[in-house]
Chains A and B, each alone.
Chain A
Amino acid sequence: QVQLVESGGGVVQPGRSLRLSCAASGFTFSNCVIHWVRQAPGRGLEWVAVVSYDGINKYYADSVKGRFTVSKDNSKNTVDLQMSSLSAEDTAVYYCARANAPPFSQNFYYSMDVWGQGTTVTVSS
């Protein structure tokens, strides 16, 4: 079935790096836009980043710009989120989500229709 599965979460010390991965199955991943969204404990949803279907165009929230990098590997059906200079404010459950967009869309302005179950990142010394 249509599925996204995140992995790579864990406990990391402040200032260190962590790489999350999102694996897709059940749909044609190579023509899809993918988002990352996070939810800190007791907080609401926060959009983090988006990558185009071909992995070329990327946008980031101001809160992570310059520290996080999103990459898409269509040969492996995965999207990674490389996170560096982590702080306690990055502690959250991280979700990847598929954009509810036409195939090969050059635009990002679509909702998110398929979500993974999330992976938890805890930044603590």
Chain B
Amino acid sequence: EIVMTQSAATLSVSPGERATLSCRASQSVSTNLAWYQKKPGQAPRLLIYGASTRATGIPARFSGSGSGTEFTLTIDSLQSEDFAVYYCQQYSNRPPYTFGQGTRLEIK
């Protein structure tokens, strides 16, 4: 099983600033990596797939990068609605398709 590790459990950033979230895979997943946003009481929302492709309707301030084992989600000019928990997920080859433990993005 591929283990996904998000280095920061919590990230404190001020509104208007940039947030950089990291995710590492225990083995290469190529670019089979997605990022999701999760808010309490809501369903997860797909932000990025293929490591760097924004999902439909996702604002341009969200961007993803990386390949292999190291990935980054960058959120520019943080808005109030961006403060949430973010999960990376690998979907390389066969299941199981594991998630990282999540990074809580909080207002500084």
Contact = CB atoms under 8 A, between A and B. Distances in A.
Contact of A47 (B46, B94, B97): B97
A50 interface: yes
Contact of B45 (A37, A59, A61, A115): A115
Interface stretch (A7-15, A16-24, A80-88, A106-114): A106-114
Contacts of A113: 46, 49, 55-56
A89 interface: no
A28 to B, nearest CB: 17
Interface string A83-122: 0000000000001010010000000111111011110000
A100 B32 contact: no
Nearest to B102: A44
A59 B38 contact: no
B84 to A, nearest CB: 13
A50 to B, nearest CB: 6
Contact of B43 (A50, A61, A95, A111): A95
B97 to A, nearest CB: 5
Interface in B20-57: 32, 34, 36, 38, 42-46, 49-50, 55-56
Question: What interface size band does chain A fall in?
Answer: 20 to 34
B100 interface: yes
B101 interface: yes
A118 B39 CA distance: 13
Contacts of A116: 43
B95 to A, nearest CB: 4
A117 B43 contact: yes
A73 interface: no
A38 to B, nearest CB: 11
B91 interface: yes
11 contacts: A44-B87, A45-B89, A47-B89, A100-B46, A100-B49, A109-B97, A111-B50, A111-B91, A115-B45, A117-B42, A118-B43
Given A112-B46, A112-B89, 15 more contacts: A50-B95, A59-B95, A59-B96, A62-B1, A62-B96, A108-B94, A108-B95, A108-B97, A109-B92, A110-B91, A111-B46, A112-B44, A113-B55, A115-B43, A115-B46
